[in-house]
Structure 1
Amino acid sequence: MNSPECGKEELLFDCRLLLDSAHNGIVVIDRKGIIRFYNRAARSIFNDGDRPVIGEHFRDVRPEAWPEFRRVLETGLPQIGKKIELPQVTIIANRAPIRCQGKVIGVISIFQDISEYETLISQLQAYRQIKGELEAIFESSYDGLYITDGRANTLRVNKAYERITGLSGRLLIGRNMRDLVKEKVFDSSVTLEVLKRKEPVTLIQRIQGRKEVMVTGSPIVDEKGEIAFVVTNVRDITELNRLKADLERARRISSRMAEYMREQKGLERALDKIIVKSPKMIQVLKTAVQVAKTDTSVLLYGESGVGKSMMADLIHRLSPRKNKPLVRIHCGAIPDPLIESELFGYERGAFTGAAWSGKAGLVETAHGGTLVLDEVAELSLSAQVKLLEVIENKTFTRLGATVPTRVDVRVIAATHQDLEKRIGQGSFRQDLFYRLNGVPIEIPPLRERPEDIAPIALSSLEKLNRAHGFQKRLSAAALDALCRYSYPGNIRELIHIVERMFTMSEGETIDAEDLPWEIRSGVPASSRVWRKGMSLARAVEQFEEEVIREALRQSGSAEEAAQVLGIHYTTLWRKAKKYALSLQK
């Protein structure tokens, strides 16, 4: 560190006002080894408390670090990224000489506590090692292993099973045991017996009418006492003499594998509602799964309708707080005068009209769990101050109260706005932004992940079929047209379009002609208004529906759309209900 004009050396060490509040530890010594600066972070990391250190020789305060400081003084060479393991913490330190007129007059050291990062890395490595060990054990078992879920659907078989039975796993995985028995692949099923008796079962099974094997099925129950998996141990009948010696080993393997499968099943259940095919969204999901394990604040970015609420739910379901409350508030849906009382509650008599007994706010209701703030950019500045207190100090104060209340919540915020732009406009606090932005996750719009359009559309249609008892399907032309549309309303718009096509289509096949005008591409112009067999009344209804839909899409609100169309709001509401159109933006 060189200074063009040195002046008095003392000025180089007078930096308390600038550096004492820094997050990293900072220590400065002069050429004699005397400590000239020692900030609060350094005291915290080294657990020095109020011990007087300024003016002391560094050798007497930190004898273990003095040799390295002395080396920098003597050589004038910096030391970068030195890892130091202390009894209580692990730190990374940089040391640099302080120069004045070409001479080394001292040393500055900046260091950071990385103990938590070290712990996280160790845990991740341990998890990967256990997963690898379980996979290796499963595949290296000399016994055949056959795993089904609680409905007798085949999940996995190992190589030993293929060797013993001569059956390929590719032909079995995903098949139900009842179907396999009907097709004479097996003459009987130990899995079905286990599900029936709800206890371990052993029997002799004939494979494709020729080979006999001994199979032992063991039920694996979940926390509700219901069978979640059946793990079957398969042995060639000629190896019965080894059964007793190896049975205990097989059970241990089954138990560990069942535990692993249970963990995987839990993750699959959490991801069940999210349909993902695109690489962009797969990376977003990986980030969400990783951050769910911690208590870090999360800021979800993305346009309206991309799935921010669903992502917040996923993070909560995968977090250690999954059995605690998940409380959501739409910050833009509550008027400014009420937002603070809704969030933080109020005491008896706090304001005119307040409940006699007072009321707990949503922050207090979420204690121990997760608080999701949709459209956080809409919060008033006064509410932002109180929210910052919740995140920083784990406390808040009810309206009308004088004593703060402690609370333990994880905050997940979501917005479709540019918060940094709002900061520049003075409508959002920068310090709150930094706190909320612990892990930013940007969810891409649907137009940037076209691979997800078809799966989402088909899944939505399947749900509608199940709910209403239909068997409707999308034609190839309709699905192709859906995949080429840009969806300014994202997933929400896609789902509404599928619901509308499901409602309005007359046959079992939903064709491209059933799509809204803005989506149809390559459909003859004559078929946009009328096609053979369509009555005049139906054509008029279709035209009216498209006009209303376009007005709603281009207007800021339903009231504005009604004004543009020259009709009363109640008329617009009635027609929107008729055509299953949403009036919500």
Structure 2
Amino acid sequence: MEKRMHETESEFSLDPPGHWAAILDMFHNGVLILDRSGMIKVYNKAARRIFGEDRLTSIGRHIQEVRPGVWPEFQHIIETGQPQFGRKISIAGTTVIANRSPILFDGQVQGVISVFQDISEYEIITSELQSFRRLTRELEAIIESSYDGLYITDGKANTIRVNRAYERITGLCREDLIGRNMNELVQKNVFDHSVTLEVLKKREPVTIMQVVTGDKQVIVTGTPIIDEDGEIVLVVTNVRNITELNRLKMELEDSRRIASRMAQTLLEQESVEHAIQQMVIKSQSMMKVVRMAIKVAGTQAPVLLQGESGVGKSMLARIIHQISDRKERVFLKINCGTIPPTLMESELFGYEKGAFTGAMPGGKAGMIETAHMGTVFLDEVAELRPDMQVKLLEIIEDKTFTRVGGTRSVAVDVRVIAATNRDLMEMIRAGGFREDLYYRLNVVPISIPPLRQRREDIMPLVMKVMESLNRRNGTAKKLESGVMDRLLEYTYPGNVRELINIIERMMIMSEGERLCAEDLPEETLTECGLHADTGGSTLRESVQALEKRMIRYALDKTGSLAAAADFLDVHPTTLWRKMARYSIAATLQK
């Protein structure tokens, strides 16, 4: 060569001879040479591939035109003579590593040569390798965290993997197994027989039972892993401890039973509180009634509610429905005493087409049929005719009935709650009520005591009714002192229904914001006898007992002394003095 880039000549040129350009085009790495002014002198094929510029149009152009923004970096090398190595840059989506060096001649920087290598493929490979390593770690974690034992061999029955669970279940150590062939392990009686060898022989999954370490039963399932050529490359054996599973199953069943009992207890408690709020209950006798109703609500048994008129049988029946598993279905109340005898059968059980003159052309479903999957509440059930009693018995026992004018049986699933204020046993003796129906209805009898036998409920009932009416009417009426005494003394032949009627009448008829004794109905005013359960045998003792009850009720309802005094319409000092006299404050602190 007449000219060489690093020979000592009087003239130095960065323009390579033609064969040099051909040689540089053979390089896998890109080569770029600039002179001191930043003009491109060499631009090989690899550089064109990376930069995407044509060599003929790039040579002789300034680097700033081809790669805007990079000239300051090259200029720094020219000015300082300091090379740059391993610089990672991105060009049109391609990642390259560039090594840049100054070109020196006679101690002077004549230009810059940049050699850069496309590392995009390496980055892809590196990323894939990292993903593979992460996947391997995850697979390792999954195998080791498996509760079942895992034993893995290759296609020649050589042991390659055993997890911790396998060691725990079998009592064998993985160090004694990995690398050994299954045939050898069977020959040396490590295993009496091998599911792995069975899988390799049959080329399909195999399950066997084994007994290991004494009396421990295990179920072993081997599964072949077959490649695209149809060759078995792995056999994965799953080992499960049946003895332990049976123990865990029993523990789980015990836990479920305990949880079920706790849930039932909680449900019953919540139901009791809900019923108490709805019915306004303070007396122990009604608490007992409610708890019995809640217990029977969880069954499908018929219920017979007995008690005088107005004691709350309808409300209790609805509560039983609301906390039963039929609560999302129909609750149908039927008052048997209000249906005319001539219409009772067709109304309750429906009729077929043409059953009688005036019947609807397509027939009609009865009331009981419309309550399918729900609850039927038969109030005044003693008023049913004997033939209707037979049909009701059929529904309870067989869950079927026949429509009027029909011949086919209609299936119906209803929960029956019946109520009466009459003595059914007396009616049975007189021939007015079927004994067999009585015993089917009387599976769980619930007797609701009259209001006069549970006077603790009178005061909270009065306050609840007044609160409800005040809210509904937009008023703020209160009872005058002495009126509650009269209400507590009254016997309430009509029970809760009569009490509500009395309070509502007083609220309407009273002139001012206070309900006085004159607002009471005449029958209440005339009945003034004190009862044995007012709390004492003398007038003084009875008044003191009433005061104690009213003070405790006011404190329970309002939660503070000031609010209770306002509720009772007395000065807080007076209330405090009475509380001290009756030791109510000390009782509350306990």
Larger radius of gyration: 2
TM bucket, shorter chain: 0.3 to 0.5
TM-score (normalizing by structure 2): 0.45
TM-score, normalising length: structure 1: 0.45
